[in-house]
Amino acid sequence: MNINEYKDIVQKTLEEYFENYKKNALYDKTIWDAMSYTCLLAGKKLRAVFCLETSRALCGAWEQALATSCAIEMLHAQSLIHDDLPCMDNDDLRRGKPSNHKVFGEAMAVLAGDALISLGAQIIIDKTPKTVNTATLMEVLRLYLKSAGAFGIVAGQCADMEAEKKLGKIDEKHLNYIHTYKTAALFECAIVSGALLSGATCDRVELMRDFAQSFGLAFQIYDDILDVISTTDELGKTAGKDEKEGKATYVTLFGLEKSKEKFNELILNCHDILKKTGIESEVFNGILDKMHERVNR
């Protein structure tokens, strides 16, 4: 399987979920339109891909992780919807299209995000194959719910908001906290869930957790760097927005070159962890290499 094949499978499955659920709606069809709008926008589906590829790389099969991978995409879409709201990061563009609240209004965008969180949990329970044992299913569900709340992306968003307009008072510890929870937590959920659903040993699960944490931080630094070196058309969202709004990022704290150095160290660490785990994956290596090339062009 390559990344495009995974993306197509996830996209098709998400479309089927939304189509089937919307059929039962009477006076609330708009909420399903709002939920599916952001979730189905063209994108990398990277977290879902990582969930599926982790499972495949560790046990040779990805199908048992499909429901969880789709749930994680729903949770990611929720984070984007809420992140773009005027009361949060206030962005009118997402993946090159108008943000959810620009299409459906702020109230409906809030409700769409809330509904996606609970729908993702429901899908993990309802759609995961019955061959997956209950203990594994409960641990995957626990990871999902943890990532969704005050021990995950909510914590990261709160720390990010606290850091706004306080660049002189924000240190690397605070910044890493933001990135660990706002970005890495969801990658950890995806990758560790994939490992658990593969039936991997505890040692390999923990190695993949280390990989997820390193990748999550690398991905956020990558995003910070691209915000500086890319155009709005390239990003699909407003370029240069971090500096304009006084947001704390690796680039604003340490400068572009030091940020690149840290990013390159993390990418190298990701490659090393994959070797220790014994994983051979063109998907993982291809993504790491593409990110490295884009930052160091």
Residues 6 or more apart in contact with residue 188 via CB below 8 angstroms: 143, 147, 209, 212, 213, 216
pLDDT at 243: 56
Give me 103's structure tokens: 């299409």
Q: Of all residues in the chain, what percent carry a pLDDT higher than 70?
A: 93
**Average pLDDT, integer, range 29-35:** 95
* Total number of domains in the chain: 1
Look at residue 235 and tell me whether its pLDDT is greater than 60.
no
pLDDT at 7: 96
Task: Find the CATH number of the domain harbouring 289.
Answer: 1.10.600.10
pLDDT band for position 124 (cuts 50, 70, 90)? very high
**Average pLDDT, integer, range 260-274:** 96
pLDDT at 248: 76
Residue scoring higher pLDDT (261 or 240)? 261
pLDDT at 171: 84
pLDDT band for position 212 (cuts 50, 70, 90)? very high
Give me 23's structure tokens: 């059929």
pLDDT at 27: 82
Global model pTM greater than 0.75 = yes
Look at residue 8 and tell me whether its pLDDT is greater than 90.
yes
Nearest in space to 264 (alpha carbons), one of 235, 234, 286, 293? 293
Look at residue 234 and tell me whether its pLDDT is greater than 70.
no
**Average pLDDT, integer, range 219-234:** 81
Helices 66-83 + 134-148 axis angle, to 10:
10
Look at residue 93 and tell me whether its pLDDT is greater than 90.
no
Domain that includes residue 256, residue range: 3-295
pLDDT band for position 296 (cuts 50, 70, 90)? confident
pLDDT at 42: 83
**Average pLDDT, integer, range 237-265:** 78
pLDDT at 152: 93
**pLDDT (tens digit per residue) in 41-58:** 988 899 999 999 999 999
**pLDDT (tens digit per residue) in 155-191:** 988 888 887 756 557 888 888 999 999 899 999 999 9
**Average pLDDT, integer, range 77-93:** 91
What's the chain's length in residues? 297
**Average pLDDT, integer, range 123-135:** 96
